Amino acid sequence: MSLHTQLAVATVAVAATVLIHLIGLAALLAVLRRHRHATSAIIASVVNGLAILLAAFGLFVLHALEIWLWAALYLALGALPDLEQALYFSTSTYVTIGYGDVVLPIGSRILGVIEGANGIILIGWSTAFFFSIVDRLKLLERDLEKR
């Protein structure tokens, strides 16, 4: 695959994962905003703990979808021979571990490095989102304790 083709394919994959992430974060935020705050500090702590768990699992699901999208791309392009290798390579690349025991063939390697950059940006975005949610819930809990 030519460099220009790799860049075009990677651009589409990055756009798709960013869109998945944006829609997913918007949905998580909408769900988290719907949860009502209790009048008791103890109940609020439990509800907020559940909200944090929901956010964490939701983020995990988003990243899993994005990793699977990249794995499907490697399979569709014939860059990796089976789902296990494609998923393993995609996961280790997305989270930038990059063991190096499974590698893409020449003509597909640019896809791998772009997936790594894509993953680190989306993980950073998720980290900021998660911190914001936890911080907001802590502030709401403090306000409730002052009442």
- Domain residues for the domain of 95 are 3-146
* Whole-prediction pTM: 0.88
Q: What is the pLDDT of residue 33?
A: 80
Domain count, the chain: 1
Q: What is the pLDDT of residue 144?
A: 62
Q: Mention every residue, 6+ apart, whose C-beta is less than 8 A from residue 121.
A: none
Rounded distance between C-alpha atoms, residue 6 and residue 9, angstroms? 5
Q: What is the pLDDT of residue 38?
A: 58
Rounded distance between C-alpha atoms, residue 19 and residue 83, angstroms? 24
CA-based nearest residue to 3, from 86, 78, 114, 92: 114
Q: What is the pLDDT of residue 17?
A: 98
Per-residue pLDDT of the chain (147 residues), as tens digits, is: 899 999 999 999 999 999 999 999 999 998 888 766 556 667 767 777 888 899 999 999 999 999 999 999 999 999 999 999 999 999 999 999 988 899 999 999 999 999 999 999 999 999 999 999 888 877 766 766 666
Q: How far is CA 46 from CA 11, 50, 88, 137, in A?
A: 42, 6, 36, 11
Rounded distance between C-alpha atoms, residue 104 and residue 14, angstroms? 18
> Do the Cβ atoms of 87 and 67 come closer than 8 Å?
yes
Tokens of 12: 């589409």
Strands (E), the chain: none
